[in-house]
Amino acid sequence: MTLSSHEEGTTMTDGVGAECHGLHWTENAYCEHATLFYEVDVSIYEDSELTSHEVDMAFKAIEAVGHTPRGTILDLACGTGRHAYEFAYRGMQVVGLDMSAAWLSIAARRTDSQRSNPHPRISLIEGDMRSLPFSTRAFRQISLLGNGFGYFSDAENAMILKEIARILDRRGVFVFDLTDCERYIRSFAPYSQREVETRTFGNVICAYWREWQPERRRMSVRERYTDARGQVLYDAPYDVRQYTLGELRELLANVGFRSVEIQPMNQTKKREGLMRNRIMVVATR
């Protein structure tokens, strides 16, 4: 099985991110196949212990730079709203932004029978984090949690940070998590192609192939989902840019962040792929 020529209309990686039938992989996955992707990763999106742990880690990182998380937070790429709700349960006002209307509608229906409904403290907005629909210095706190950075070309990834810096108030904080690339890539021989996992989620059988592309510093992944009868439900690539700590510091400094602190994230349970070893980064304006 090769990674490069598996389906007409699908290109693996062309220097600006994997595409499928003219759609960027993020649109293909999170918009075109929103329900399927939610079902496959429901064990992440509905894991309240994981979400609470991630928010604990984000708060800890924010507090470590002398900032108290309170007031309003913008939760970028909020998806199905798990962190947005956790922030609201902890008393914050939340603006959640995501490009997937389908996932935002899951977020809008989210409830937790154990806790009081935090809806009045949450507003959800459909938008693109490459061009944020907010005025300069609009927020004191911004989060981007659940491995939501590095999906685009290098220039677009830098643009996202520039946009975040633009809408962040003086002394505001931006907290985000991402794969600890230096730990992750050690286990990948360049251009090795191997089937890392085949797993079943509900009625969906998922196969993943991962390839580390050192010259592009991208983890390139092909995902193929089939149903019990062998019918292909989804077969497409994606790639995520992996930034070293040095690169991250430079990128953040270039768009005006004064300080950058990095903390390891311990896990609540064993995770695979890009979720395996993550770090929490907090950058101060």
Contacting range for ligand SAM; rule: CB under 6 A; set: 76-84, 111-119, 167-175, 223-231: 76-84
CB of 8 to ligand SAM, least distance (A): 25
**The two three-digit tokens of residue 52, written as one number:** 């609470």
CB of 97 to ligand SAM, least distance (A): 6
Task: Choose, by CB under 6 A, the member of 87, 149, 151, 234 that binds ligand SAM.
Answer: 151
Contacting range for ligand SAM; rule: CB under 6 A; set: 98-106, 161-169, 220-228, 229-237: 98-106
What is the C-alpha to C-alpha distance for residues 83 and 89, in angstroms, rounded to an integer?
A: 10
Identify the sign of the CA torsion 46, 143, 29, 266: negative
CB of 275 to ligand SAM, least distance (A): 9
Task: Choose, by CB under 6 A, the member of 18, 50, 94, 99 that binds ligand SAM.
Answer: 99
Q: Which of residues 24-63 bind ligand SAM (CB under 6 A)?
A: 26, 30, 45
The one-character DSSP state at 180 is -
What is the C-alpha to C-alpha distance for residues 7 and 151, in angstroms, rounded to an integer?
A: 21
Regarding 241 and contact with ligand SAM (CB under 6 A), the answer is no
What is the C-alpha to C-alpha distance for residues 228 and 81, in angstroms, rounded to an integer?
A: 30
Task: Choose, by CB under 6 A, the member of 25, 38, 85, 103 that binds ligand SAM.
Answer: 103
Q: Which of residues 118-147 bind ligand SAM (CB under 6 A)?
A: 128-130, 145-147
Instruction: Render 135-178 in DSSP notation, one character per residue.
Output: -TT-EEEEEE-SS-S--S-HHHHHHHHHHHHHHEEEEEEEEEEE
Pick the closer one to ligand SAM by CB: 77 or 260: 77
Task: Give how many residues touch ligand SAM by CB under 6 A.
Answer: 20
Task: Choose, by CB under 6 A, the member of 67, 82, 222, 278 that binds ligand SAM.
Answer: 82
Instruction: Render 255-279 in DSSP notation, one character per residue.
Output: TT--EEEEEE---SS---GGGSSEE
Pick the closer one to ligand SAM by CB: 95 or 129: 129
The one-character DSSP state at 58 is H
Pick the closer one to ligand SAM by CB: 176 or 257: 176
CB of 84 to ligand SAM, least distance (A): 9
Pick the closer one to ligand SAM by CB: 78 or 142: 78
Rounded to 5 degrees, what are φ and ψ at 143?
-125, 155
User: How many other β-carbons are positioned within 10 Å of the β-carbon of residue 248?
Assistant: 20
What is the C-alpha to C-alpha distance for residues 120 and 173, in angstroms, rounded to an integer?
A: 24
Residue carrying the six token digits 């709203």? 81
Pick the closer one to ligand SAM by CB: 229 or 279: 279
Q: How many residues does the chain have?
A: 285
Regarding 96 and contact with ligand SAM (CB under 6 A), the answer is no
Where along the sequence are the contacts to ligand SAM (CB under 6 A)?
A: 26, 30, 45, 77-80, 82, 98-100, 103, 128-130, 145-148, 151
